[in-house]
């Protein structure tokens, strides 16, 4: 049995399940101060005999395994969580292998394994924008994980809205995240479903970002998840604008007919985040077997 922690800024979803994605039990715990939140997490897991735990954490977090602060939350406006040693606290308490990554990386891994790909790019568009890339079977990571959400894209000539990013104003996140949609149109994305111009502009911005990711990473598949992507009407605009912006340059067959086989919604549905944490847990367990830390 594996444990999974989908650690979000407003709630922690914890579950017990199997490596094939079966969920046996789950619970939601509000995110308050770290020690208080984690004590409730430990109380939940104690009755189960778990082999490993996987954590998909809200960012920014240190996921560089060679870093002294590996597994710590980095700078965050969230009370009490700044520099919190998240991974170490869970390891000390549970004493089993613990897999750790960002929630977006966990999602990328889950989709990658379920679809049997060699590379993929997972992008979530909601309160913020996040992206995780897997290239040749490994999560793309250098100094840190890439921060693809803050790339610069061109503002639409008719769009006078300045953008919501506190650092760059009109970067991708500043123009296309949930808060950007709300600030530009005065309503939440969910209440704008029937407004065609909203989704055409959103599709235009997403397509611009995707073209850059395709040119730089050439992933085999792009998966678009997150709250703003629960609006299926945006997909046709993305399919329309990606080839238009590419303008015949990138001739791979997936792009000659842009359609849902290449740019698709997640296949894991609403439990995606949890199933992804089981994948992290299973990886941590396999690594521990390989290192001889645990007996099979």
Interaction between residue 224 and Zn ion (CB under 5 A): no
Return the residue of 150, 155, 156, 195 that touches Zn ion, per CB under 5 A: 150
Return the residue of 152, 168, 286, 294 that touches Zn ion, per CB under 5 A. Answer: 168
Q: How far is the CB of 167 from Zn ion (least distance, A)?
A: 5
Is position 180 an interface residue for Zn ion (rule: CB under 5 A)? no
Of 71-79, 157-165, 176-184, 195-203, which part binds Zn ion (CB under 5 A)? 157-165
Q: Which stretch binds Zn ion (CB under 5 A): 42-50, 113-121, 162-170, 193-201?
A: 162-170
Query: Which of 171, 192, 223, 284 contacts Zn ion by CB under 5 A?
Result: 171
What are the two backbone dihedrals, phi and then psi, of residue 12, each rounded to the nearest 5 degrees? -105, 125
Q: Residue 178 or residue 266: which is nearer to Zn ion going by CB?
A: 178
- C-alpha atoms less than 13 angstroms from C-alpha of 154 in its C-beta half-sphere: 9
CB of 287 to Zn ion, least distance (A): 34
Name the one range near Zn ion by CB under 5 A: 166-174, 178-186, 199-207, 222-230: 166-174
Residue 263 CA, distance from chain mean position: 16
Residue 85: CB minimum distance to Zn ion, A: 28
With respect to Zn ion, which residue has the nearer C-beta, 86 or 205?
205
Smallest separation (angstroms) from Zn ion to the CB of 75: 15
């Amino acid at each position: 049995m594996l444990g999974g922690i989908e650690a979000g800024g407003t709630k922690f979803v914890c579950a017990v399940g199997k490596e094939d994605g079966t969920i046996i039990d789950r619970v939601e715990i509000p995110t308050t101060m770290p020690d208080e939140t984690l004590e409730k997490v430990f109380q939940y897991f104690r009755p189960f005999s778990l082999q490993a735990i996987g954590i998909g954490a809200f960012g920014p977090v240190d996921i560089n395994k060679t870093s002294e602060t590996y597994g710590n939350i980095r700078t965050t406006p969230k009370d009490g969580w700044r520099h919190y040693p998240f991974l170490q606290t869970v390891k000390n308490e549970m004493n089993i292998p613990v897999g750790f990554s960002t929630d977006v990386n966990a999602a990328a891994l889950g989709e990658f394994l379920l679809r049997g790909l060699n590379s993929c790019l997972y992008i979530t568009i909601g309160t913020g924008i996040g992206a995780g890339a897997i290239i040749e079977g490994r999560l793309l990571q250098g100094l840190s994980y890439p921060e693809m959400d803050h790339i610069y894209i061109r503002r639409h000539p008719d769009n006078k809205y300045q953008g919501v990013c506190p650092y760059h104003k009109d970067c991708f996140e500043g123009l296309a995240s949930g808060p950007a949609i709300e600030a530009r149109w005065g309503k939440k994305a969910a209440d704008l479903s029937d407004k065609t111009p909203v989704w055409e502009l959103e599709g235009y911005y997403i397509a611009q970002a995707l073209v850059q990711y395709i040119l730089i990473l050439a992933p085999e598949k792009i998966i678009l998840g997150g709250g703003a992507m629960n609006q299926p009407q945006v997909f046709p605009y993305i399919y329309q604008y990606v080839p238009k912006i590419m303008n015949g340059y990138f001739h791979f067959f997936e792009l000659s007919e842009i359609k849902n086989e290449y740019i698709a919604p997640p296949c894991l549905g609403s439990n995606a985040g949890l199933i992804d944490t089981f994948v992290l847990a299973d990886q941590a367990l396999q690594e521990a077997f390989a290192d001889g830390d645990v007996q099979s």
